[in-house]
A and B are shown apart, each in its own frame.
Chain A
């Protein structure tokens, strides 16, 4: 029997839970000869901002142990440029297209959501309220539950498309931000965006990145990302899209077990462009191995042995109890 890998994000049905994260494969065309998009669930586009952005000064990327720091700064053609030059390509892609948007303020978020929604090109919108590389507004809406509420409340009435709020891990309690988004109409949350990091050159006494600080991604952050995914999946009823350091199919399975309904592959795809396809195959194979036919058997199926609780701030939380409340 062929297993069902179908998952739902709000009104969007994905044929399988494997997506490529924003900022990894541009607007789909760049990687077309290398990635078989017909095999994966979908892609999240490079983030579109209201106005064109040139991006940050170089260097923008540096490899660090098991990871990569970047400070790209959302180089993109802006909303009008996106509608003029990218939509026709995206329409032809044989997978779901989730368009990522980032605004400097609530009004820009509204204009972006309306513009993307009207273009008809998107199957869903990822609301990027968590970019660490564009100045103070980048993290504003995902480090303050009140501001997250403000932006989600403003954009929710403007579209019928599923809205996925992308969250930063650079907070003390990410569940609080996720709950705020869920309460204000988000259909899903995706996490994690990159962790703020920096690299220093001891010979020159200078920072390596052009912007001093950047965002850390890659296998180095997987344990951190799994913990955040777990925390959020315990707290909200809407689907969680998990990501952070997925570099092999087993990593994807780990995120599903932790409570993610779908996953995104990112940095490691630069090394292996077939990674997303391999994750689909790997999940299918894993289901076969455990004798299950549906992906539902994996999502949130982490088995926490009796007596092993989660200790946070000196207070034990029993996962079963939390889930029962939902």
Chain B
């Protein structure tokens, strides 16, 4: 059950230019979130920005008396710029955990495909898989070496990197890494599943690859939200590809993790 709780900034650190790791302590009453879920964070009590911002979780820490959520975010606009200026010690509040997270199936090899800051919920998922002692493949692409946040965290899985500038790993798109995984015939649609998060263009390409290959594929979506609890209907996800049309699932309660192969990516802003 979601809760509205106060939270305290304990860390808000720029880990690479424009990208921040935020850690917020939450009360014991805050339910443990699962990978792919998000929180609706109030960035300012002064009403500017007016609306909360939805952030998917990079992780959740529960150690002794400490309970904290971690958010990996980029400065992209007013809200995130103000968030970046919140120093440790500041109190904010958040609603969470919200939405539907990743649903890995038993006896399938999870292949995680991350692009840029979209790595956040997949790092959370990889830690969950490691705790379950499940093998997985982690494919991570970013613009350059310094944006490959969290790679040292990926343990217990097979990690492959790609950068646009070739500063480390494969020189090109993470999509090529995904295609290469399939090239030698070791995976089948029944033995694997894909979990992805990243920029719209990448998600669309991964979804098309999965649909063409008949592979199960879940993507964590991003978009503006007002209430984030399913009330205002402000975050519709357009569906296509044979999925029932004439209805818009709300990203906040039926997502943010959704079956990527039925999303109409052309109509999703």
* Chain A contact residues, CB within 8 Å of chain B: 23-26, 30-31, 33-34, 46, 54-63, 66-68, 70, 72, 75, 210, 218-219, 247, 267-268, 270-274
B residues within 8 A CB of A24? Answer: 227, 231-232
A residues within 8 A CB of B23? Answer: none
A residues within 8 A CB of B226? Answer: 61, 68, 70, 267, 270
- Kindly report which residue of chain B lies nearest to residue A60, judged by CB atoms: B234
A54 B248 Cβ-Cβ under 8 A: yes
Indicate if B47 sits at the interface (CB-CB under 8 A). Answer: yes
Indicate if B233 sits at the interface (CB-CB under 8 A). Answer: yes
CA of A218 to CA of B226, assembled, Å: 12
B residues within 8 A CB of A25? Answer: 227, 231
Indicate if B150 sits at the interface (CB-CB under 8 A). Answer: no
* Chain B contact residues, CB within 8 Å of chain A: 1-4, 42, 47-52, 95, 223-227, 229-238, 246-248, 267-269
- Kindly report which residue of chain B lies nearest to residue A209, judged by CB atoms: B269
B231 A267 Cβ-Cβ under 8 A: no
A66 B50 Cβ-Cβ under 8 A: yes
Query: Other than the known A54-B247, A271-B47, what 5 A-B pairs have Cβ atoms closer than 8 Å?
Result: A63-B51, A67-B50, A247-B47, A268-B50, A270-B227
B50 A72 Cβ-Cβ under 8 A: no
Given contacts A31-B231, A54-B247, contact A59 B50 (CB under 8 A): no
Top-8 shortest CB links A-B: A26-B231, A30-B231, A61-B234, A75-B233, A59-B269, A270-B226, A60-B234, A58-B236
A residues within 8 A CB of B237? Answer: 58
CB distance from A241 to the nearest CB of B (A): 20
A residues within 8 A CB of B49? Answer: 63
CA of A131 to CA of B4, assembled, Å: 31
A270 B52 Cβ-Cβ under 8 A: yes
A34 B267 Cβ-Cβ under 8 A: no
CA of A294 to CA of B209, assembled, Å: 67
Interface centre among B50, B235, B238 (most CB of A within 10 A): B50
A30 B229 Cβ-Cβ under 8 A: yes
- Kindly report which residue of chain B lies nearest to residue A20, judged by CB atoms: B231
Interface centre among B47, B223, B233 (most CB of A within 10 A): B233
A residues within 8 A CB of B225? Answer: 61
A residues within 8 A CB of B235? Answer: 58, 60-61
CA of A284 to CA of B230, assembled, Å: 31
Partner among B3, B234, B247 whose Cβ is within 8 Å of the Cβ of A70: B234
Can you spell out 22 A-B residue pairs with CB atoms less than 8 angstroms apart? Answer: A30-B229, A33-B1, A33-B2, A34-B95, A34-B229, A46-B233, A54-B247, A55-B236, A55-B248, A57-B267, A58-B235, A58-B268, A58-B269, A60-B233, A61-B225, A66-B47, A75-B248, A219-B50, A267-B50, A268-B47, A271-B42, A272-B42
B51 A271 Cβ-Cβ under 8 A: yes
CB distance from A29 to the nearest CB of B (A): 9
CA of A269 to CA of B224, assembled, Å: 16
A residues within 8 A CB of B267? Answer: 57-58
B residues within 8 A CB of A58? Answer: 223, 235-238, 248, 267-269
CA of A33 to CA of B248, assembled, Å: 24
CB distance from B84 to the nearest CB of A (A): 18
A219 B47 Cβ-Cβ under 8 A: yes
B residues within 8 A CB of A31? Answer: 227, 229, 231
A residues within 8 A CB of B232? Answer: 23-24, 26, 61, 70, 72, 270
- Kindly report which residue of chain A lies nearest to residue B1, judged by CB atoms: A33
B230 A30 Cβ-Cβ under 8 A: yes
Given contacts A68-B226, A271-B50, A273-B4, contact A57 B95 (CB under 8 A): no
Interface centre among B225, B234, B246 (most CB of A within 10 A): B234
B residues within 8 A CB of A70? Answer: 226, 232, 234
CA of A60 to CA of B224, assembled, Å: 9
A57 B238 Cβ-Cβ under 8 A: yes
CA of A247 to CA of B42, assembled, Å: 14
B238 A63 Cβ-Cβ under 8 A: no
CA of A68 to CA of B248, assembled, Å: 21
CA of A44 to CA of B269, assembled, Å: 30
A62 B50 Cβ-Cβ under 8 A: no
Interface centre among A34, A219, A270, A274 (most CB of B within 10 A): A270
- Kindly report which residue of chain A lies nearest to residue B225, judged by CB atoms: A61
